[in-house]
Structure 1
Amino acid sequence: MKINKYNSFVFALLFGLALSTQAQTKQWTLEECVRYALDNNITIKLSELDVKNSVIDKRGALGNYLPAVNANASHSWNIGLNQNITTGLLENQTTQYSSIGASVGVDIYKGLQNQNTYRRAKLSIVASKYQLLKMQEDISLNVANAFLEILFNKENLKVKKEQLAIDEKRFKRSEEMVNAGTIPRGDLFDLKATVATDQQAIIVAENSLLISKLSLAQLLQLKEFADFDVTDNTNVQDENNIMAQNPTDIYNKAKETRTELKLAETNLEIAQKNVSIAKGAYQPTLSAFYNFNTRASYSDIITGSTLNTANPTNQIGFVEGTNQSVLQNNYSPVLGNAAPILDQFDNNKGQSFGVQLSIPIFNGFSTRNNVERNKVSLEKSKIDLEQKSLDLQRNVYTAFTDAKGALNAYESSTITLEARQQSYNYAKEKYDVGLMNSFDFTQAQTLLTNAQSDVIRAKYDYMFKIKILEFYFGIPIVPIIKN
């Protein structure tokens, strides 16, 4: 009995601990959010399907090298007035025929179009993988931005609540001072309005935090996001010392690693292959073919002949001069069953083979127009690559300048906050001894609150600008597996 009670107690304890653990809300780290988004985001899944389509296209391009083999079989019934293939006469009858065949065709030369199509297909796989990688990088940045937005809203809400707590204490203390006749009742009304304003600010901050959590949860494709939360990692530091780098060095590194530049280069190669494929239509094509066929009939066949007893002779002419009739025996065919089907298939075999040369002479300018159209696409790809290079250079220098400016703004706002804090402490001392009125003290408090908000905003702006700069330097938030 004691053992049973002990087991029951242990079971209840473990069960309670399990419930307590499940009740705790999981807090996601930035790395976990990014990794989950990379594994579950719908846009990325669509891009992965594009990669699979490219692989299928490559398989199809490889198939152009292989011969085309086809087989056919048919069985037909002819009912009504048809020619009897045995007697040659038209008769109302039902006949059946069977036929089978096979054909093989292979391209010997096609203006190198098959080769260039296969090379283009391989480049398309590379391009689709780069497109997938770019999508993953964009999603990672979006997740990082949404994650930092939650942290910003969390700290902002914390500041608002702390401010409300301070104002509520002031309001309670002021009530006591008003009752004691130390300060006028008008100051109490000002504080009451301030507390109400603080409460409104908290509601706005809570809504902003909820919306930012919802945005990140939707970006992660989470179905259950009512209790979604992230870790409060608020350290502001340049872990990879990216700000010590020279903008030119970052740009040179970006030219080697940035996906959008590699994608533009691959698209340029694809455009070049398209021009080569289009030009291949100017050249003659040579192909080889082989056909095999056989057939079988189910109609009766002639197996012999016999003298027609009803009409044993036929007049075939006259002897010149005597007009004597010239007669011949009149024979009637003897019909028998058709030969076995397999024997007919074996006896009626037929084959044909050869080569076919096709020389393009004039086709309504379609080939020429196709070549010119692909040349235009090639020029557009060249311009796009040049533009992507210029954009990358501008973006790198802009990102470096923005990060440097964000750091300066964060440092300046921190200094401002320290000064505002000292000013507030001094105003509070004066207010507590009755040397400052409620309005002036509220102004000092408002300036402190604004300075706190500026520090929070500058901090997370700097953190995000650092992430962007690290991206250009080839440092991802989490390692992305390249297929």
Structure 2
Amino acid sequence: MKRLTIYNGPVIRFKITILASLLGLVVNSANAQTTVQASQAAPVSNRFSLRQCIDIALQNNLQIKQSQLNVQGSELQLRQSKLNLLPTLNGFANQSFSSGRNINPVTNTFVETSVNSNNYQLSGQVTVFNGFALQKAIKQNDLLLQSNQQNLQATQNNVALLVVQNYLNVLTYGEQLDIARRQVETTQGQLDRTTKLVNAGTLAEAQLYDLRAQVANDELTVVNAQNNLDLAKLALLQAMNLPAGNSGAPTPGSIEIEKYQLDDPTLEPYTATAQQVYESALQFMPDVKAAELRVRSDAAGVEVAKAGLYPTLTLSGSLSTLYSNVGLQKQFENGTTLVPMTVIIGGTQQTISIVQPAYRNEKFTYGEQLKNNLNRGASLNLTIPIFGRFAARNRITNATILQKSSEITADNTRLTLRQNIETAYTSMLAASNRYRSTQIQVESLEKAFQAAESRFNAGALNSVDYNIAKNNLDRSRANLVQAKYDYVFRTKILDFYQNKPLSF
């Protein structure tokens, strides 16, 4: 037998399902939030410890994987909201070709030729003011991320709680199976003794038939206990999301679990009241924290929506240039040249020559055109919302509705937590009384059975009365096992709510 201590980390509200005779255990483990390595989650044999079962479940559970994706999505959303504070920068490039009558993109004049041109533009914009919507969106997404992180912890805890509950169901049914087998051994021993006495003629044969029927009844109890144990093991495998008996997977009957020593309870009064447990749970339960963070996130969402009523001031800038194959030409002096000119002198038309500089024309290069056509611009833009078909007002109303819905959800979470604690506390008191009464009953029935067995061995008691005494003791012992687990587990439930270390 081993003793296991589990330390609570952040915990959440749980729902306990009554499984067969065990009313369940709720336990949280900080280790349940630890990243599980593949080597830890894959046991070499079919023997499992509670730590291994929790690790396997945390690795395989689909709800945890979905919650992890939700956290990743929230992290991305928060990162993007922070990046929205940075300016935007866009580049544009264009290559065009046209023939026939076109417009020279450089001179904006008509030309009768084919035009091949390139356009380049770089523009940027930054928001100077928009009612602090960007800053408020960062706050909203940060709170949403924290809420989803708490939900992930809650999901991990729920999975760990389910595993622990099923694990302890296996322990309970295993102990009941041991009791049933000992009952068979006791009855079989009495049957063997009675058979010898009947053969010797000391006892009537009718008592032998009664004991044989009792042996068959005890064997049926063993079968039922074994079935309950197999079903509990199957539930444990399913809680770990492991296939049962397919493709080499362990079958419910083949798996074994490590046993932990559970001392008999002392039945001392619990150290805290239900109200004290509730006040402590409010500080640790992840689902409560998640609900409260969601309320704050939605409240920030209302402020984001209200920012839509304010003007928006943006600063823009641009840089552009172009190239064209029909762009302007540059000229260079190339000596002098005589230019003939007709003039009238004294009524007579004469031709004279004028000396003028000679030029040669060359097209600008690609780079020179880009440089010459470079254009720079900057603008400050103010957008004032005047009438937008009440879209901004409706967004505010919708955000307010979401906030109120989150507040109701948070109130319901706290209400459910209080009710669960009150139920757990009352059940703990009832389990304490039931264990105390059952313990007294077992002690009394043990003495009664000892007396009945002595009288039966002496021939002063018939087999029917003997079987009645034995059956009463057997049922009482089984009830004591259930009462013991029930009381111990319910005290652990209250410890769980208070984030106390739980020892088994």
What is the TM-score when the length of structure 2 is the normalising length? 0.76
* Counterpart-to-counterpart distance in 1, 2:265 and 2:316: 69
Q: 1:274 aligns with which of 301, 304, 307?
A: 301
Give the direction of change, closer, same or farther, for the CA distance of 1:289–1:264 in structure 2 (3 Å limit).
Answer: same
- 1:46 corresponds to 2:71: no
Q: 1:244 aligns with which of 264, 271, 280?
A: 271
Aligned partner of 1:354 in structure 2 is: 379
- 1:101 corresponds to 2:128: no
By how many angstroms is 1:27 displaced? 4.7
Give the direction of change, closer, same or farther, for the CA distance of 1:301–1:294 in structure 2 (3 Å limit).
Answer: closer
Aligned partner of 1:263 in structure 2 is: 290
- 1:424 corresponds to 2:449: yes
Q: 2:240 aligns with which of 214, 220, 225?
A: 220
- Which one-letter code corresponds to 2:389 in the other structure? G
- 1:368 corresponds to 2:388: no
Q: 1:459 aligns with which of 469, 484, 491?
A: 484
By how many angstroms is 1:415 displaced? 1.4
Aligned partner of 2:351 in structure 1 is: none
Give the direction of change, closer, same or farther, for the CA distance of 1:57–1:396 in structure 2 (3 Å limit).
Answer: same
- Equivalent pairs: percent with the same residue? 27
Give the direction of change, closer, same or farther, for the CA distance of 1:202–1:208 in structure 2 (3 Å limit).
Answer: same
Q: 2:469 aligns with which of 444, 463, 469?
A: 444
Q: SS of 2:85's equivalent?
A: coil
Q: SS of 2:110's equivalent?
A: coil
Deviations 1:194-214 (A, max 9, x none): 323322322222222222223
* Counterpart-to-counterpart distance in 1, 2:80 and 2:297: 17
Q: Does the 8 Å CA contact 1:247/1:397 hold for their aligned counterparts?
A: yes
Deviations 1:204-259 (A, max 9, x none): 222222222232233234575445322222414679x8822233322222222222
By how many angstroms is 1:163 displaced? 1.1
Q: Does the 8 Å CA contact 2:321/2:373 hold for their aligned counterparts?
A: yes
Deviations 1:344-399 (A, max 9, x none): 22222222220221111222222212211221222223333333333333332322
- Which one-letter code corresponds to 2:129 in the other structure? Y
Give the direction of change, closer, same or farther, for the CA distance of 1:250–1:303 in structure 2 (3 Å limit).
Answer: closer
Q: 1:340 aligns with which of 365, 373, 377?
A: 365
Q: SS of 1:243's equivalent?
A: coil
Higher helix share: 1
Aligned partner of 2:228 in structure 1 is: 208
Deviations 1:267-289 (A, max 9, x none): 11112111111111111111111
* Counterpart-to-counterpart distance in 1, 2:97 and 2:227: 79
- 1:230 corresponds to 2:257: yes
By how many angstroms is 1:469 displaced? 0.3
Give the direction of change, closer, same or farther, for the CA distance of 1:205–1:89 in structure 2 (3 Å limit).
Answer: same
Aligned partner of 2:334 in structure 1 is: none
- 1:88 corresponds to 2:110: yes
- 1:283 corresponds to 2:317: no
Aligned partner of 2:168 in structure 1 is: 148
Relative contact order: is structure 1 or structure 2 higher (C-alpha 8 Å, sep ≥ 6)? 2
* Counterpart-to-counterpart distance in 2, 1:388 and 1:24: 41
Please, which moves more after superposition, 396-405 or 55-64? 396-405
* Counterpart-to-counterpart distance in 1, 2:319 and 2:265: 75
Deviations 1:316-335 (A, max 9, x none): xxxxxxxxxxxxxxxxxx99
By how many angstroms is 1:153 displaced? 0.8
- Which one-letter code corresponds to 1:389 in the other structure? R
Please, which moves more after superposition, 187-196 or 63-72? 187-196
- Which one-letter code corresponds to 1:443 in the other structure? I
Aligned partner of 1:195 in structure 2 is: 215
Q: SS of 1:475's equivalent?
A: coil
In the alignment, structure 2 segments of 5+ residues that lack a partner are 1-42, 244-248, 332-358
By how many angstroms is 1:436 displaced? 2.3
Give the direction of change, closer, same or farther, for the CA distance of 1:338–1:460 in structure 2 (3 Å limit).
Answer: farther
Aligned partner of 1:14 in structure 2 is: none
Q: SS of 1:244's equivalent?
A: coil
* Counterpart-to-counterpart distance in 2, 1:205 and 1:289: 78
* Counterpart-to-counterpart distance in 1, 2:313 and 2:44: 74
* Counterpart-to-counterpart distance in 1, 2:361 and 2:429: 103
* Counterpart-to-counterpart distance in 1, 2:368 and 2:178: 95
Aligned partner of 2:30 in structure 1 is: none
Q: Does the 8 Å CA contact 2:321/2:374 hold for their aligned counterparts?
A: yes
Aligned partner of 2:324 in structure 1 is: 297
Aligned partner of 2:10 in structure 1 is: none
Deviations 1:301-321 (A, max 9, x none): 7689xxxxxxxxxxxxxxxxx
- Which one-letter code corresponds to 1:399 in the other structure? A
By how many angstroms is 1:124 displaced? 1.2
Q: Does the 8 Å CA contact 1:143/1:216 hold for their aligned counterparts?
A: yes
* Counterpart-to-counterpart distance in 2, 1:165 and 1:335: 123
What is the TM-score when the length of structure 1 is the normalising length? 0.79
* Counterpart-to-counterpart distance in 1, 2:199 and 2:362: 129
- Which one-letter code corresponds to 2:93 in the other structure? A
Give the direction of change, closer, same or farther, for the CA distance of 1:477–1:62 in structure 2 (3 Å limit).
Answer: farther
* Counterpart-to-counterpart distance in 1, 2:160 and 2:264: 19
Give the direction of change, closer, same or farther, for the CA distance of 1:472–1:280 in structure 2 (3 Å limit).
Answer: same
